[in-house]
Amino acid sequence: MSGQKRPMAPHVSVGDETSSTGKHEHLHMSITAGILSWNRKDDLRRTLDAVLALDLPGLLVHVIDNGSTDGTIAMLDEEYSAERYPALMVTKLPDNTGNAARNLFFKMVDTDYLLTLDDDSWPRSEADVLRMLRTMESDERIATVCAACIHPDTKVAETRGIERFASRGDRETGYDVVNIAAGGTLLRMAAMRETRGYDPEFFWGRVENDLAFQLLKKSWRIVFDPEAVIWHSFSPVGRNPYPRLRAVTQNSFSLLWKHIPLPFAIPGALLFALRRLLPAVRDYRRLKPVAQGIVSGWGGMLRQRRRDRRFSMRGTFELRHWFAKFLYE
């Protein structure tokens, strides 16, 4: 692993005029924008240009490259030098470790908050970051604030309808959900350091759910703020849907075995397997990766049961809105 010298973390109070109350609010601007990159050189350039152009006092930017082989490193060295962008730090990993690479942010970031982004996502404006920050600072028990993740051209929102599965909340104050979008969420670093971070075994798929469950067990809140927007271009580069389908299917079972008591986990797993198999009637190419994911997911039950303490029966019942979303997706 190689990287530049870490910029000093600033702590700046800024006036926010975007409050719905119309009052001048002071927010604690101690944020690092953390971008995870892998083989999307052109997408990363677009994201970096947008993030570095944000007019946010003291904003730091940290890119972790997950072993790219497409010229990303050369592009970063040539176009984004430390001399030109002193607030930018780049960490270069030799291999792709999946979402677990984000755990380095938790170890290296000195700011109070981390705005976690993908290499193809960026805030719509400064006001959206401030909106997320204001929601975060409205309650010291909020661990994460997920924004609405929307395609900048089609305006299709991948987070559309999440509020239907909220346990409480409203559009102005945010909804309590079990949703962390790695490409568009503000994280409270004090809360993240109470967890084990992103599970390396998950690599990709359900890894944010796993992190959310860890936080809920510590009595932190997970919030969705639909009024804040992160543009997500959903780059087609590196998105082969069928291998990803196997991964998310397998990890869905792992999530249940790891965190949910068996009286809820077993029926949940059976219903989820049926829900995953039915679309294969229309697209036979789904059958093999889904079946492989189901087999490997069931096969990992005993090992996953030993990896974490599970929710209580009462705590699991309180996740009923998440179960509805889990089976709906």
pLDDT, tens digit (0-9, with 9 covering 90-100), for 86-104: 999 999 999 999 999 999 9
Mean pLDDT across the chain, nearest whole number? 91
The answer to whether 65 and 72 have CB atoms below 8 angstroms apart is: yes
pLDDT of residue 237: 76
CA distances from 304 to 2, 166, 216, 309 (A): 33, 27, 19, 10
Task: Grade residue 7 by pLDDT with cuts at 50, 70 and 90.
Answer: low
- Tell me the C-alpha distance between 80 and 104, whole Å: 21
The answer to whether 80 and 47 have CB atoms below 8 angstroms apart is: no
Q: Whole-structure pTM over 0.85, yes or no?
A: yes
pLDDT, tens digit (0-9, with 9 covering 90-100), for 303-325: 999 888 999 999 999 999 999 99
Compute the average pLDDT of residues 19-29: 52
The answer to whether 256 and 269 have CB atoms below 8 angstroms apart is: yes
Task: Grade residue 21 by pLDDT with cuts at 50, 70 and 90.
Answer: very low
Ranges of beta strands (E only) in the chain are 2-3, 12-16, 25-29, 31-37, 60-66, 88-93, 113-118, 121-123, 142-150, 168-170, 174-176, 184-188, 221-232
pLDDT of residue 329: 77
pLDDT of residue 20: 42
pLDDT, tens digit (0-9, with 9 covering 90-100), for 217-229: 999 999 999 999 9
Is the predicted pLDDT of residue 281 greater than 50, yes or no? yes
Compute the average pLDDT of residues 95-121: 96
pLDDT of residue 1: 66
Is the predicted pLDDT of residue 262 greater than 70, yes or no? yes
CA distances from 141 to 12, 26, 137, 193 (A): 21, 19, 9, 14
Residue of 318 and 241 predicted with greater confidence: 318
Neighbouring-strand partners of residue 300: none
Is the predicted pLDDT of residue 16 greater than 70, yes or no? no
pLDDT, tens digit (0-9, with 9 covering 90-100), for 56-71: 999 999 999 999 999 9
Q: What percentage of residues in the chain have a pLDDT greater than 90?
A: 83
Tokens describing residue 225: 């703020």
pLDDT of residue 111: 96
pLDDT of residue 24: 34
Is the predicted pLDDT of residue 15 greater than 60, yes or no? no
Is the predicted pLDDT of residue 19 greater than 50, yes or no? no
Q: What angle do CA 238, 182, 38 make, to 5 degrees?
A: 30
Compute the average pLDDT of residues 171-196: 96
Least confident of 49-53, 123-127, 238-242, 258-262: 238-242
pLDDT of residue 235: 82
pLDDT of residue 243: 83
- The helix/strand/coil state of 118 is strand
